[in-house]
Amino acid sequence: MEARHCTEDPTAAYRALIADEPLPGRDELYAGETLSARRPQPRHCGGSVTDDQTTARLAVLGAGVMGVGIATLALGHGLGVLLVDVDAAKLDRAPIDVATQLRLAQLMGARSGEEPIGELATSTSVHDAAAATVVIEAITEVAELKSKVLVELSDVVRPGTPLVSNTSSIPIDELAESLARPGELVGTHFMNPPYLIETVEVIRGARTSEATMAAVTSLLAALDRKAVVVRDAPGFVTSRILHPMINDAVRVVQAGTATADAVDTLMQGCLGHRTGPLRTADLIGLDNLVDSLRVLHERTGDEGCLPCELLLAKVRRGHLGRKSGRGFYRYEEALP
């Protein structure tokens, strides 16, 4: 398996974009090749490769929208991040996406631009997360896949390492059932985009240990995030309330009662919703919303959580919201 190592600091790429300077091409970001007959090795950006297993690092599994967003948040606070995904193409894109998001965070006033940027490394192997001090799993919202990855991680990391499952709806106790050390698992629900939204829902499972809770709340404090701890349940608090409400808003549009813009304008102007439910849906990702609604419907039996046909049709057409450039609204470009 081929592994590529950055010979130049990608923080220069981040800073170039933040400063509106031309970004180097991908060939300039990555140069040099090494081969490994054993397993994929991490691609390190911004620092030398080290064998020191005591090196503090946050590992994030999943280079999708949420994984990259969480990585951006940590990097913007000076923390080193190992980003892991089986899709090498996503990892190739990650430094550019992080740079774009750091610039957006600066433009929105979420960072000054003077803070040091952490080191980013990428890998296609979970084995490279062995040295992590905290691991955040942020893969797709499918319980079976999350359970499988968490078991793999538990076998790799040192005992006592907190395992964080970032999920919008899947019960943490359900994910903990397959783990030999369930006390190490805790849930988070970062809102999208995590580098802008300052409050994080933290889900404590029935067997989550005090040490795990302390480590995760300490990490969130270091990221300048407000942790709100809730008990475990399908959808927890935010998704259990918000996602059925969005589903109802989509039904209103499906019935022809009002346009998406009219629904959002009324919810903003009359009820104080910051963006409106359908703009929020576009930001969440309509595919992610469907996955979450299905989890809620399967585990609660609430018919209000059954995804409505208009929502399903948009997902089938690839109209996934802000990240695809089109959902209930059209966007000039997709959000990284």
Q: Cite the active site residues.
A: 189
Residues 141/167, Cβ–Cβ less than 8 Å: yes
Quickly list DSSP for 169-212. Answer: SS-HHHHHTT-S-GGGEEEEEPPSSTTT--EEEEEE-TT--HHH
Q: Where are the alpha helices (DSSP H) in the chain?
A: 11-18, 26-29, 65-76, 88-107, 143-156, 172-176, 210-222, 238-254, 260-271, 277-284, 286-300, 309-316
Rounded to a whole number of angstroms, the CA Rg of the chain reads 20
The rounded distance, in Å, linking the Cα atoms of 322 and 332 is 9
* 3-class secondary-structure state, position 135: strand
Amino acid at the residue 276: G
Tokens matching residue 266: 């009324």
Report CA-CA distances (Å) from 107 to 17, 93, 198, 281, 334: 12, 21, 16, 23, 18
DSSP state of 326: B
**Residue that has been written with the tokens 């067997």 in this structure:** 207
Residues 184/154, Cβ–Cβ less than 8 Å: yes
